[in-house]
Each structure stands twice: as structure tokens, then as C-alpha cells.
């Protein structure tokens, strides 16, 4: 169980997160909000890459920060930026990430093969990531996030910049990540998560507006018929399904 207690984050005078409290149990969660809402900031705090100004992240009641390597080994994270590892081949990137995660040399080969197969990139494994399409880059990021079968998987805008066919592929990959895990996926595009998330967390200007199942959100936000309409209610017309820009 992942618990966020009263998390606030300031960048100088800018308040990116404002008293976020949340409890996540196994399941797929969609973190939905427009650009600038604070999604990446929240994910960076959950993954321990960024310190909150105040508040705490707890894993099964323990302070994640104090757990150190034990927390990192149960965590898989795909950051929003691409292009960091363009000169690596797929296989080298995955070996590197597997080593960072502390997966033993003995287990690495099988585990890398498993995740490559999972995202259907086995045939491209020996090519540099720089030659991959946007969709393939996102898939290799998802692949490294599930190396070692982590209990907590955090995916920051895994569908950003992808064409519709690639979006479906990533969505199916996420849906099929096996079993008893907490999977948190951020997006500003409703259709990416509407059908796969057990619950949606609506984030606006650093605050959680609501957190519920899609049917409950629809009921609560004016008895509308889908998540797109909830989004319009909460965030206004101008931001709806705008996938043209990403940070």
C-alpha cells in the first residue's frame, strides 16, 4: 500500500503541489490533469527523485525515504523525457537499468528477454534507441520500468506524442502488466486511461479535485456519460484532450 501524506512542493515561490493525501492499493490508477497540474512533480516525489517541501510517502506504513534500496527495488519508473539513452542499444539500456536495480547477472538475461517480449521489441534489441520510433521508445521505457517485476509501477505520460495505433499498444501493455501491483499512469488525454484505470485521480493546479472510479466520477460531476465530460466539467473546454503539447 502506498500512502501520500499531506505532500506539498514549492519550486521557489511556485507551489506545484498543495497538500496531497492519497492511499493507493493494488490496481491501475490514472493521474489525469492538464499540463502544469503537477503530475510529474508528484511522480518524482513518489519515486524518490524529488523531495517534497513537506509531507511524507509511506510504503506499507514505512517512510519510503528511510527504506532506501528496499523501496527502490520494489519500484519501477518510466520518466516523461525520452532521448536520454539514444546512443544505447535496447539491450544495453535494459542491462544497465537491470544492474542499477540490483538484478543479479544470473537473472538479467531471462528478465531482459521477458520484458523485451512483453513490449514486443525483441527484434529491435540490438539497435540504438535513437533509431526507434516514438512508440518504440515509450515501449522500451515501459519495459525497463517492469524489470524485476516491481510492486509499484509509475509511468509518466507513456503515451505522449504517440499516434493512435501506438497509444493503443501502450494501453494494452499497461492493462496486461501482471497482477498484484499498484500502477500509476499519468496523462492529459482522457482516452488513454478511461478504459484501463480502476480509479482516476483528477489533479488541478497541484490539488486533488477528486479520486474515484469512472462511473462514480460521472455521477458526481453532473451525471455525465463519460470521463471526457467529467474532464470538461473540471478543467474547462480549452484543455480537453489537447495532446498537441507536452512539457
Q: Which residues bind ligand ADP (CB under 6 A)?
A: 11, 14, 16, 33, 35-41, 247
Residue 189 DSSP class: -
Q: Which is nearer to ligand ADP, 41 or 159 (CB)?
A: 41
Q: Which does 48 bind (CB under 5 to 8 A by kind): Mg ion, ligand ADP, none?
A: none
Q: Which is nearer to ligand ADP, 103 or 141 (CB)?
A: 141
Minimal distance, residue 217 CB to Mg ion, in Å: 21
Cα–Cα distance measured from residue 116 to residue 40, given in angstroms and rounded to the nearest whole number: 26
Q: Which is nearer to Mg ion, 39 or 167 (CB)?
A: 39
Number of residues that bind Mg ion (CB under 5 A): 3
Q: How many residues in the chain? A: 247
Sheet containing strand 14-24, edge to edge, reads 14-24, 2-11, 54-59, 62-63
For residues 23, 60, 143, 102, the Cα torsion angle rounded to the nearest 10 degrees is 150
Binds Mg ion (CB under 5 A): choice among 16, 20, 29, 40: 40
Q: Which does 36 bind (CB under 5 to 8 A by kind): Mg ion, ligand ADP, none?
A: ligand ADP
Cα–Cα distance measured from residue 188 to residue 167, given in angstroms and rounded to the nearest whole number: 13
Q: Considering only CA atoms, which of 42, 107, 124 is closest in space to residue 73?
A: 107
Radius of gyration of the chain (CA): 18
Residue given cell 539500456 in the structure block: 93
Output the CA torsion sign for 145, 192, 165, 81: negative
Q: Which is nearer to Mg ion, 73 or 80 (CB)?
A: 80
Minimal distance, residue 35 CB to ligand ADP, in Å: 4
Three-state secondary structure call for residue 26:
coil
Minimal distance, residue 103 CB to ligand ADP, in Å: 29
Minimal distance, residue 138 CB to ligand ADP, in Å: 16
Q: Which does 151 bind (CB under 5 to 8 A by kind): Mg ion, ligand ADP, none?
A: none
User: Under rule CB under 5 A, which residues in 57-96 are in contact with Mg ion?
Assistant: 80
Residues that bind Mg ion (CB under 5 A): 39-40, 80
Amino acid at each position: 500500500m502506498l500512502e501520500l501524506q499531506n505532500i506539498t512542493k514549492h519550486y521557489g515561490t511556485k507551489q506545484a503541489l498543495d497538500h496531497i493525501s492519497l492511499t493507493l492499493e493494488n490496481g491501475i490508477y490514472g493521474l489525469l490533469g492538464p499540463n502544469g497540474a503537477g503530475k510529474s512533480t508528484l511522480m518524482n516525489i513518489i519515486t524518490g527523485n524529488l523531495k517534497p517541501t513537506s509531507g511524507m510517502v509511506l510504503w506499507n506504513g514505512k517512510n519510503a525515504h528511510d527504506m532506501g534500496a528496499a523501496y527502490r527495488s520494489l519500484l519501477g519508473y518510466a520518466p516523461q523525457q525520452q532521448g536520454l539513452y539514444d546512443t544505447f542499444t535496447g539491450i544495453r539500456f535494459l542491462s544497465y537499468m537491470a544492474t542499477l536495480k540490483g538484478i543479479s547477472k544470473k537473472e538479467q538475461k531471462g528478465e531482459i528477454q521477458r520484458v523485451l517480449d512483453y513490449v514486443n521489441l525483441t527484434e529491435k534489441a540490438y539497435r540504438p534507441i535513437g533509431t526507434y520510433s516514438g512508440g518504440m521508445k515509450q515501449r522500451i521505457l515501459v519495459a525497463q520500468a517492469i524489470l524485476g517485476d516491481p510492486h509499484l509501477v509509475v509511468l509518466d505520460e507513456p503515451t505522449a506524442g504517440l499516434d493512435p495505433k501506438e497509444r493503443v499498444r501502450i494501453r494494452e501493455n499497461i492493462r496486461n502488466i501482471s497482477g498484484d501491483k499498484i500502477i500509476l499512469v499519468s496523462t492529459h488525454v482522457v482516452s488513454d486511461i478511461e478504459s484501463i484505470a480502476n480509479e482516476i485521480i483528477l489533479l488541478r493546479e497541484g490539488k486533488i479535485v477528486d479520486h474515484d472510479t469512472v462511473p462514480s466520477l460521472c455521477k458526481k460531476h453532473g451525471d455525465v456519460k463519460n470521463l471526457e465530460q467529467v474532464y470538461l466539467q473540471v478543467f474547462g473546454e480549452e484543455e480537453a484532450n489537447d495532446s498537441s503539447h507536452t512539457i
